[in-house]
C-alpha cells in the first residue's frame, strides 16, 4: 500500500475518532413558568442545597425569547456536571443594565459539594467600577451595558488549562485547577449583593474527546 493511501486511511480514522461537537447540556429558561424560581427545576439548586439562593425566570430581557434567568442580589444557584476528559466549551449570554451596582459572578468548579469545593473560573462583573475581571489572572476589560454579551470558557481538561473570552475578545488563560481535579463539576451563578442582571442560553459542549495512546498506536499500525 502506498504512503498516499495510508495517509487517506489515517485521515478517515481521525474523522471517526473525533465526533462533531454536540451540546451536552443547555438551558435557555424558555420552558419554565414565567416568574418561577429556578431552584429545583432543570437540575438547578441553591449552593450546597441551601434555601434563599434562588434566581428567577423573567421576560424583562431575553437573548432567546421569551425568558432569561434573573440573578438577584441573593442569588447563588448551581448546576452540576460530571465531565473528566477532553476539550469543552461553556458559553452563556449576559445582560447587565447601565443602572447596575455591586458584583455578580460567573463561576465554574472542578470539585463541588458534597466534596470539598474547588474553584476553577471566577469571572467578576463589578458594576461599581465598570469592569469584568478574571479573578485568578487579574485580567480585566470594560463591562458592556444594555446589550447581550457572550461569556465563553474554552476548557482543556487533559492540559489543565482554560481560556476565557468576553464579547468574543480574549480575556485570560489560567490553570483549570491547582490542588483540585481535572473535572468539570459545576456552574455557579452567584451575586455578592450585586443588583439584578440576566443570563440566557447557557451551553456546555464537548469540542474534542481525549486522544488515547492506544488509538494512536492503531493509527501508526495503519501507516506502516
Same-domain pairing of 95 and 204: yes
pLDDT on residue 219? 37
Who contacts 165 (Cβ-Cβ below 8 Å, separation ≥6)? Answer: 150, 151, 152, 153, 154, 171
Q: Chain-wide mean pLDDT for the chain?
A: 89
The structural domain count of the chain equals 2
Work out the number of other CB atoms within 10 angstroms of the CB of residue 206.
18
Count of helices and strands (H, E) across the chain: 2, 15
Same-domain pairing of 114 and 215: no
- CATH code of residue 110: 2.60.120.200
pLDDT on residue 211? 52
Instruction: Report the C-alpha gap between 122 and 112 in whole angstroms.
Output: 14
pLDDT on residue 24? 94
| Per-residue pLDDT tens digits for 156-209 | 999 999 999 999 999 999 999 999 999 999 999 999 999 999 999 999 999 998
pLDDT on residue 132? 98
pLDDT on residue 23? 73
pLDDT on residue 48? 97
Cα angle, residue 223 at apex, residues 221 and 224 outer, rounded to 5°: 70
Q: Which portions of the chain are predicted below pLDDT 50?
A: 3-4, 6-19, 212-224
Same-domain pairing of 139 and 224: no
Whole-model pTM? 0.85
Domain that holds residue 11: 1-18+210-224
Same-domain pairing of 217 and 108: no
Same-domain pairing of 139 and 204: yes
Same-domain pairing of 91 and 167: yes
Amino acid at each position: 500500500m502506498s504512503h498516499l493511501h495510508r495517509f487517506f486511511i489515517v485521515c478517515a480514522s481521525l474523522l471517526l475518532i473525533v465526533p462533531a461537537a454536540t451540546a451536552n447540556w443547555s438551558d435557555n429558561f424558555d420552558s419554565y413558568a414565567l416568574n418561577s424560581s429556578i431552584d429545583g427545576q432543570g437540575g438547578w439548586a441553591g449552593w450546597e442545597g441551601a434555601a434563599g439562593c434562588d434566581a428567577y425566570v423573567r421576560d424583562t430581557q431575553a437573548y432567546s425569547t421569551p425568558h432569561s434567568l434573573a440573578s438577584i442580589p441573593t442569588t447563588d444557584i448551581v448546576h452540576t456536571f460530571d465531565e473528566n476528559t477532553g476539550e469543552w466549551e461553556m458559553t452563556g449570554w449576559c445582560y447587565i443594565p447601565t443602572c447596575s451596582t455591586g458584583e455578580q459572578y460567573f463561576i465554574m468548579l472542578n470539585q463541588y459539594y458534597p466534596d470539598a469545593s474547588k474553584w476553577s473560573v471566577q469571572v467578576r462583573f463589578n458594576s461599581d467600577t465598570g469592569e469584568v475581571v478574571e479573578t485568578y489572572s487579574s485580567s480585566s476589560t470594560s463591562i458592556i451595558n444594555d446589550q447581550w454579551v457572550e461569556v465563553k470558557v474554552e476548557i482543556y481538561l487533559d492540559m489543565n488549562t482554560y481560556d476565557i473570552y468576553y464579547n468574543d475578545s480574549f480575556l485570560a488563560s489560567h490553570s483549570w485547577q491547582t490542588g483540585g481535579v481535572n473535572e468539570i463539576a459545576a456552574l455557579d451563578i452567584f451575586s455578592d449583593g450585586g443588583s439584578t442582571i440576566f443570563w440566557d442560553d447557557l451551553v456546555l459542549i464537548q469540542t474534542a474527546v481525549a486522544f488515547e495512546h492506544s488509538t494512536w498506536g492503531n493509527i501508526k499500525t495503519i501507516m506502516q
